[in-house]
Amino acid sequence: MCLGIPGKIISIELSSAEAPESSLAKVDFSGVTQNVRLDFVPEAKVGNFVLVHVGVALSVIDEDEALQTLQLLSDLGEFYNANDR
Question: What torsion do the CA atoms of 71, 57, 46, 69 make, to the nearest 10 degrees?
Answer: -10
The set of residues, in sequence order, having a beta carbon less than 8 Å from that of 4 and lying 6+ positions away, is 51, 52, 53, 58
- Comparing CA positions, the residue from 14, 84, 67, 5 lying closest to residue 45 is 14
pLDDT of res. 20: 58
pLDDT of res. 76: 86
pLDDT of res. 45: 95
pLDDT of res. 46: 97
Number of structural domains the chain divides into:
1
Instruction: Find the CATH number of the domain harbouring 43.
Output: 2.30.30.140
The parent domain of residue 19 ranges over 5-83
Q: Which positions of the chain have pLDDT values less than 70?
A: 1, 15-21, 85
